[in-house]
Structure 1
């Protein structure tokens, strides 16, 4: 049985950060109060997410926003996938916020190891960061395509502000590129929503799961591809990923870490949700996704190998490893989906931790260029360990979580056994080896070899930055220690997701009208179609 108060928890990951954002904006003159409010709100949202993680294992939990019944109103649905995504996201958001408190200094002050461009304007950072957290939670919980679009727009507005913090020319340029690309994606998504509503009379995902199979297969495939195009830009799938390596490295370390850990994963989650719930049976599109997954993995990691700046190198590995997640989704099997879910959770924690470590490297070494760094293993051995562990995890060294996720993907790819699946298996192994080469190159140049330029030996690492980074690295190791229960949870999530009826029955528990048996038409008679806005 679901705990009686489980429904109370569902809106909290959205409401708490939004409420706190308003408070921190109103109290912008009181930096210490802002910090207390922000940390408290994210910690409470994390607690609510953990509660949902436990409760959702018994089945999806549905809340009708404003007590408007589905499909007239918008519903929030916490199932296993959304609950696990929420939990790991708020772990990451809380660690990054604490890291930013250790790094951030008021405008106008200079601290050792940082430049003016690295300073975080505290007054605007907190409300914007909290709004971004609310947007992420809304995207994971919504059961309505239009509300998913609203979540994306919340992310766009907040991320544009965070990306241009400090107002340097480089950040404004990168922010402009990011905004234009994201607006194109949003326009495509909004167009897809309009067409889907015109074809089915609803944008509620549970209802769409029932109505989409009734429309013309060609129209359905066109709608599926349009959604994939919109989500593919947000997830940075090749060839829609060129914007990412130029946009992310310019922002302050906490902002870059959040972007790398979460924003692309919202796109991946959207693909996972729509592919399994709305378009579960389309082998042709699955094959297209397999090809894109292969290109994303291989071209992304080749770009990483060619880089000589740690931030850009990690940005390309981020693109590359999105390919692993798309690989699992494209297999269109329960085992492949489970491996993809596990790999998403792993990648959020590891990629975020690496970008936080790079922020510490920049603080300690004064640069992220591998030509200017060196000898950090001797100058800061603790920092060397903080980089070494998640770097090996990213490369998939046994027995770490990256290895376990990749084994799951490779095993299911081999089990599917098609020629394209085997090509992806080989591509995945090559990508993993090249990832290992890239991180070893970074380790050798930044930590092991003698520096080309003298690095100050008396620049201390702020404890407020080191502790959250260590906590996130430890969380990545916890995913290895708890791999059995977590992977089992992912398998149950994949089973329910591939089934589809579990989700639909939770949204319509009393056999309410789902659209079954209704005539769904496109054309002159579309206005006679019945259906509510979800």
Structure 2
């Protein structure tokens, strides 16, 4: 299973890299440079059809990295097979690199009504499909890691929705949501790693009674789960509210359709995660045919008889519990300090959106003798 998932990931990465390198070659052939500021200036001088082709090629390459629908098939098969700490890092960061690249692409190289065509409407539809298809996949999963992988795909759609709006408020909400999602998704995968240590499984058909056996892990899972589901006052609710307000401000029937999809996706996310909570934590062991091998969290963390040096299996949960607890605290801090963080996100969005300022900073205009 792990070998097949590794091969899938390698093949997808190679295909994405091929598209990206081909797009870079075409950009250089069309503009004579790969400096983004130079490219932004020179795209206005090339034929519209050529600029559109470059736009689509770059979006395709970055869309694979970001796991946008329909190019997200690789992620649910690849992430669940890795160890929990590795999956947590991958889930938190890797797809966001693709999202960041799309932000730079849409704000610097191909702004609205600029060269390369206006693809904001297709981006909105892609964001909607990514949200809906991803969360429908999550709702039917029995393995918690695979379920979280589908929710990861789904919530990338929220970020694409914010980018597709093309407004400063939408971009600011997207920046905040990226920070929120990196933190919360990483925390959930770490919490599931603890569940796997305690229950010897990540299948909700085998897990039961974890609330009684490991109450600390139950809390560490519940807080980010409610956060990702968008329950107020957590950062997930605040980030989604910012995106929905940006959409309502923008208007248009397409945007309202996406808003409806975003609200539905949030509700189904909450349903999927609470289904995990109900079956794995609340359900008693007598309700399932095959239970789990009982390891109390106190035996793994607090027992002085454990020899950490000679028992790696016991040392790992202690470290994971500490890291997961710290990550949960950070997710709560995103709510407590939401005001300053939103202000910072708004300034970031403003700076990203000031295309001419960025170009002039990278390419300072030469002062002529007459002007001097």
Are the structure 2 counterparts of residues 267 and 377 from structure 1 closer, same or farther at C-alpha, using a change threshold of 3 Å? same
From 442, 458, 464, the counterpart of 2:276: 442
Count of aligned pairs: 343
From 112, 123, 128, the counterpart of 1:289: 123
In structure 2, how many angstroms separate the alpha carbons of the residues matched to 1:401 and 1:205? 33
The 5 Å alignment of 1:132-531 reads 170-282=1-113, 284-451=118-285, 452=288, 453-458=291-296, 460-461=300-301, 462-508=317-363, 510-512=364-366
Asked if the contact 2:162–2:174 (Cα under 8 Å) also holds between the matched residues in 1, the reply is yes
In structure 2, how many angstroms separate the alpha carbons of the residues matched to 1:180 and 1:186? 10
Deviations 1:37-60 (A, max 9, x none): xxxxxxxxxxxxxxxxxxxxxxxx
Per-residue deviation, 1:266: 0.4
In structure 2, how many angstroms separate the alpha carbons of the residues matched to 1:486 and 1:215? 40
In structure 1, how many angstroms separate the alpha carbons of the residues matched to 2:346 and 2:9? 35
CA-based RMSD: 1.3
Deviations 1:311-343 (A, max 9, x none): 000000000000000000000111111111110
Runs of 4+ that moved beyond 6 A: none
In structure 2, how many angstroms separate the alpha carbons of the residues matched to 1:473 and 1:454? 25
In structure 1, how many angstroms separate the alpha carbons of the residues matched to 2:51 and 2:207? 53
Asked if the contact 2:199–2:292 (Cα under 8 Å) also holds between the matched residues in 1, the reply is no
Please report the TM-score for the alignment, with normalisation by the length of structure 2: 0.90
**Partner SS state of residue 460, structure 1:** helix
Unaligned runs of 5+ in 2: 302-316, 368-372
Per-residue deviation, 1:512: 4.9
Please report the TM-score for the alignment, with normalisation by the length of structure 1: 0.63
In structure 2, how many angstroms separate the alpha carbons of the residues matched to 1:260 and 1:446? 22
Per-residue deviation, 1:492: 1.0
Q: 2:311 aligns to what?
A: none
Asked if the contact 1:364–1:460 (Cα under 8 Å) also holds between the matched residues in 2, the reply is no
Q: 1:131 aligns to what?
A: none
Per-residue deviation, 1:213: 2.0
Deviations 1:197-230 (A, max 9, x none): 1111111112112111222122111101100000
Per-residue deviation, 1:493: 1.1
In structure 2, how many angstroms separate the alpha carbons of the residues matched to 1:255 and 1:457? 23
In structure 2, how many angstroms separate the alpha carbons of the residues matched to 1:341 and 1:512? 34
